[in-house]
A = this chain, B = another copy of it.
Amino acid sequence: MTPVIDGLQYANWSERIFRQMRAGGVDAVHVTITYHENFRETVLNIEAWNRWFEQFPDLIFQGFTADDITLAQQTGRTAIFFGAQNPSCIEDDIGLVEVLHRLGLRFMQLTYNNQSLLATGCYEDGDTGLTRMGREVVAEMNRVGLVVDMSHSGERSTLEAIAHSTRPIAITHANPHDWHAALRNKSDRVLRALSDSGGMLGFSLYPHHLHGGGACTLAKFCDMIARAADSYGIANLGIGSDLCQDQPDSIVEWMRRGRWTKSIDYGEGSAAAPGFPPMPNWFETNADFPNIASGLKASGFNDADVAALMGGNWARFFADSFGPTT
């Protein structure tokens, strides 16, 4: 049985959400554990996850390798894989790449919208590509098996990361820019370089990334996937829902503003709609994953392709990506 895997979530975690993962048949989730937090603060977030793992051992456990996806399927639980949406967690210290990998970090974005020590974010005016430290950190991430995630990075930085990385990278949560022209969605050039190098794209359900926003229909979402499969091949595509379920608006403020500004930054929102946008009514919780599978089937994908898109491709990518370079 092919597993169901979500390539990114950042929910306000609770027993309810973990039960919805089980209800939706979700075998593995890449969860964001840190944005602007420094190393010690990130470890505090890991400690919070450790308490959830201790409290809900029948629902969730921490995933370290692709074998844990199989373990999840065998034991009826969801494997939780950690990721960072910004490199603040490694501070200015390349040695923390291996330390965080040992603690289970499996994805790290080189930037979150802004310039970082490593690369340029997608909201900066200019993009100077990978920095000196960025090239070193990508090599170290390659060595230990920490996936480079460029979801929130600029065009040039993303292309350079794809070129410089010796292992396939990921854009865990974004959609094609030519379907919906959001700053966070990715150009054909990026998506072609990504898929040509074996890198994965996770299709996002975050309303700002959807054509028509939260009103986007399941059929339109699946049609976008079908067109991407035609353009880039189906092997490197999956879901990265970007589900931010049950989060208060103060969290999207933290995501956007961190500690880098004293002003308001609306990110993908606006003064008129500063908070989390409402999700499409066919994808509001983890329990709705079967809706996506149904939609893909209705849009013409055969069973094998639906299984690949719903998690088979991510499972292969996890297996290839999370161990040290051999």
Number of copies: 2
In the assembled complex, A99 has its CB within 8 A of some CB on chain B: yes
For window 166-201 of A, CB contacts with B under 8 Å fall at none
In the assembled complex, A56 has its CB within 8 A of some CB on chain B: no
| Complex alpha-carbon distance, A46 and B98, angstroms | 10
Q: Which B residues are CB-close (under 8 A) to A39?
A: 40, 43
In the assembled complex, A133 has its CB within 8 A of some CB on chain B: no
Q: Which B residues are CB-close (under 8 A) to A103?
A: 99, 102-103
For window 86-107 of A, CB contacts with B under 8 Å fall at 93, 95-96, 98-99, 102-104
| Complex alpha-carbon distance, A280 and B46, angstroms | 46
Q: Which residue of B lies closest to A40 (CB)?
A: B40
Q: Cβ of A47 and Cβ of B102 under 8 Å apart?
A: no
Of A39, A102, A104, which is in contact with the most chain B CB atoms at under 10 Å from its CB? A102
Task: State which of B40, B43, B51, B98 has its C-beta within 8 Å of the C-beta of A50.
Answer: B98
Q: Which B residues are CB-close (under 8 A) to A99?
A: 43, 46-47, 50, 103
Q: Cβ of B102 and Cβ of A43 under 8 Å apart?
A: no
In the assembled complex, A298 has its CB within 8 A of some CB on chain B: no
In the assembled complex, A44 has its CB within 8 A of some CB on chain B: yes
| Complex alpha-carbon distance, A43 and B42, angstroms | 13
The smallest C-beta distance from A101 to any residue of chain B, in angstroms, reads: 10
Q: Cβ of A95 and Cβ of B44 under 8 Å apart?
A: yes
Q: Which B residues are CB-close (under 8 A) to A93?
A: 47
For window 42-85 of A, CB contacts with B under 8 Å fall at 43-44, 46-47, 50-51
Task: State which of B47, B96, B102 has its C-beta within 8 Å of the C-beta of A95.
Answer: B47
Q: Which B residues are CB-close (under 8 A) to A46?
A: 99
